[in-house]
Chains A and B, each alone.
Chain A
Amino acid sequence: MARWGMVIDLDRCTACGACVIACKAENNIPFVGPEESARGHTINWMDLIPGEEHEEGSSAMPRPCLHCDDPPCTKVCPVYATYSTPEGIVAQIFARCIGCRFCMAACPYTVKSFNWFDYRQDGLLGAARNPDVSTRPAGVVEKCTFCHHRLQRARERARAEKRPFRAEEYLPACAETCPSEAIFFGDLADPNSRVARLRRSPRARALLPELGTKPKVVYLAREERHEID
């Protein structure tokens, strides 16, 4: 059974924001517009959040959903609309979500976004939609899914070509796009995979580890420069 995890190397990250845009394009995340953004209604599955200030300037860190092994969000969902798959991806069932926003209140990393209006766009932007990902109506919660649709596609392709599926075939949009190759993704259950090895690096640290959420997205940073609160 695979266990999908991510490692983000903050010493390579230039905060260019390509991962944010790639995620938006891949997952049909609507652009809510400047007025709605000013009201705090932006939807960012992959977000670039401020790090600490230091002499060379402020840093930023890409923060997808951390796909915790012990997620506080899945515990509180009343209708099983957010849950952990057996391979460790914390999934979101948009069609069942009743929009109570309990998971949003419970997530200590504030990764979840909400569709405050119906932001789906037709026209030019509508034509650019990714057919593999459903669009979300007003009133439901959404968040990063590790581009789970790409996993399904890769598995289906392997099955169609009658060959075993290889973990390297599955890469979320952010990992694929990053120009500095700062985002690594792979199967943590394979001890020789790059993500598994990088997790054992002395530079590896988790976000808010004291909460016991056991996030599967881990950051690499040299101690002195990137002190993450």
Chain B
Amino acid sequence: MRSTEALGPDVCLLRPIEETGRGFYITAGILLLGVLWGVLAYGSQLSRGLGVTGLNQPVSWGFYVTNFVFFIGISHAGTLISAILRMAQAEWRRPITRMAEVITVLVLFIGAGNILLDLGRPDRALNVLSYGRYQSPLLWDATSISAYLTASLLYLYLPLIPDIAILRDHSTRHHFLYATLALGWAGTERQIRVLNRAIAVMAVLVIPVAISVHTVVSFVFSMTLQPGWHSTIFGPYFVVGAIFSGIAALIIFMVIFRRAYRLENYLKPIHFQYLGFLLLTMSFLWFYFTFAEYITAYYGSVPEEMKVFWAKFTGDYALFFWSMAICNFAVPMTLLGIPRFRTITGILIASISVCVGMWLERFIIIVPTLSHPRLPLEPGSYLPSPVEWGLMVGCFSLFGLLYMFFSKIFPIISIWEIREGREVSLREVEDRVRSYLPGEQGEDIAAEGVPR
């Protein structure tokens, strides 16, 4: 049993695992109640049928599909931060990667779960395995989400191994679990090489897989002929929206964990600033795509499209549409664009606003189109029932609960990456920057060593 002094200052990252305060139990209790509501709601749906929801003909998709798209969208948090920033060698990612990767894994389970919640016959869900048709976008979803789930689980686990080894050596609880999952990690040079190589491969692999996931989710809508859905922009639009909402969700949880586990030394204002800049960029990008989508519809003035268009702009869904615009663009632009407001609190408010706005965006995409079918029928309407609210609350509660449990078993900030940053990267970055600068006193530039 090694002494904790070898860990240095990072030993405080093990504290949430060692000690559990009252706040944890209270929060867990509340979330458990939310999950219970969800379970009861689903029970009533299972026993009686989907008629307990507010769904009808023509609006046969509602909250469940909205939540499906929303949760799968949030999964892009992990990929962006972990994989892309790792490939860009952005050192500021180090305290954030673990949180982001956990969000991805959890949110994929819950997102895919929402599709199961939406099925009229969940007892026949295995028919997708026996009789699946690859012409159907739902099968593309099933395949790519399976791939992404596997990849992101692996991508979460690999950098976790050295941290698990620390827990194996320093912690008194869960010893068997840690010893098993640590895979005999001893920090040897060869092991580090193996792990770094594997992580590098995964970082490259997980990005196209992630992009494919949200693209095929968008294809569920864009491959139909319905007005407002049959648009070529949907693939990139959904990916941008996913990254957008993913960053916002990540920021929210960073703030929560920073406060709950007193991680102010690790999650510093600079991390929030950089993520805030990314969020602002994505807000502009989201606005650009949204603008392009609606101006094209408006300019073309195809009658069925305009029915949906006006329903969103001035009709039944105007409140949701304009709230979405304010939450996704006006609020982030103000709070993140003006330096005075770009504090951690301001960034948090902007992130909450974006999460709400992006949920509304999914809703706005799905329901108005369904309620204005092409045939000259009366427009439909949709009012979610307590069952749907219950399942939504249950999903969010389950997500929070699982996230909290994770943080009680594994360090929520990657100790290994922090130490690597402190002990190795400082020198690497210095060497890298030196290699960018011109050589001194007429040295042959080709002879300049490339940094390791």
* A-to-B contact residues, CB < 8 Å: 36, 39-42, 49-52, 63, 72, 75-81, 96-102, 104-106, 108-110, 112-118, 137-141, 207-208, 211, 213, 229
Provide the B362-382 mask, 1 if CB < 8 A to any CB of A, else 0.
Answer: 000000001001111100110
Chain B interface category by residue count:
35 or more
For the complex with contacts A36-B51, A98-B128, A102-B220, 15 further pairs of A-B residues with Cβ separation under 8 Å are: A49-B377, A50-B377, A78-B128, A78-B138, A78-B142, A79-B128, A80-B133, A96-B131, A98-B127, A105-B226, A110-B373, A114-B60, A117-B51, A138-B51, A207-B375
Q: Which of A42, A99, A211 has the most CB of B within 10 A?
A: A99
Contact A98 B377 (CB under 8 A): no
CB distance from A16 to the nearest CB of B (A): 20
| A77 to B, closest residue via Cβ | B136
Instruction: Please list 16 pairs of residues, one from A and one from B, whose beta carbons are closer than 8 Å in the complex, sorted by A's number.
Output: A36-B51, A40-B59, A49-B376, A50-B376, A75-B135, A79-B128, A96-B124, A100-B115, A101-B61, A109-B374, A117-B48, A140-B120, A140-B121, A213-B225, A229-B303, A229-B375
CA distance A98 to B121 in the complex (A): 5
Chain A residues lying within 8 Å of B220, measured Cβ to Cβ, are: 102
Task: Kindly state whether residue B293 has any CB partner on chain A within 8 Å.
Answer: no
| A101 engages B120 (CB within 8 Å) | yes
Q: Which residues of A contact B223 (CB under 8 A)?
A: 75-76
When A and B form their complex, which 10 residue pairs have the shortest distance between CB atoms, in order from nearest? A99-B120, A40-B56, A139-B120, A116-B51, A138-B49, A78-B138, A117-B51, A139-B121, A117-B49, A106-B224
The docked-state distance in angstroms from the alpha carbon of A50 to that of B378 is 9
Within 8 A of A (CB), among B57-78: 57-61
Asked whether B127 lies within 8 Å of A96 as measured between CB atoms, the reply is yes
The complex places the Cα of A81 from the Cα of B374 at a distance, in Å, of 24
Is B133 within 8 A of A78, CB to CB? yes
A66 and B336 CA atoms in complex are apart in Å by 53
* Residues from 115 to 157 in B contacting A, C-beta threshold 8 Å: 115, 118-122, 124-125, 127-128, 131-133, 135-139, 142
Residue from the list B60, B132, B138 in contact with A76, Cβ < 8 A: B138
B368 to chain A, nearest CB (A): 13
Number of residue pairs spanning A and B whose beta carbons lie under 8 angstroms apart: 146
A110 engages B57 (CB within 8 Å): yes
Cβ of A139 and Cβ of B377 under 8 Å apart? Answer: no
The docked-state distance in angstroms from the alpha carbon of A169 to that of B127 is 36
Is B398 positioned at the interface, with any CB of A under 8 Å from its CB? Answer: no
Contacts A78-B128, A98-B119, A118-B49 given: A109-B135 contact, CB under 8 Å?
no
The CA of A118 and the CA of B49, in the complex, are separated in Å by 7
CB distance from A168 to the nearest CB of B (A): 31
CB pair B57–A40 under 8 Å, yes or no, is: yes
Q: A101-B120, A110-B373, A140-B120 are in contact. Are A79 and B131 (CB under 8 A)?
A: yes
A41 to B380, CA, bound (A): 11
Task: Please tell me if the beta carbons of B136 and A139 are within 8 angstroms of each other in the complex.
Answer: no
How far does the Cβ of B117 sit from chain A's closest Cβ, in whole Å?
A: 11
The complex places the Cα of A96 from the Cα of B128 at a distance, in Å, of 10
Whether B133 pairs with A79 at a CB distance below 8 angstroms is: yes
Between B59, B60, B381, the greatest number of chain A beta carbons within 10 A of the residue's beta carbon is seen for B60
**What separation, in Å, do the CA atoms of A101 and B224 have in the docked complex?**
13
Does B50 sit at the interface, judged by CB under 8 A? Answer: yes
Q: Which residues of B contact A101 (CB under 8 A)?
A: 60-61, 118, 120
Q: In the docked arrangement, what's the CA distance between A32 and B302, Å? A: 36
What's the nearest-Cβ distance from chain B to residue A108, in Å? 5
Q: B344 in the interface, Cβ–Cβ < 8 Å?
A: no
B55 close to chain A: CB less than 8 A: yes
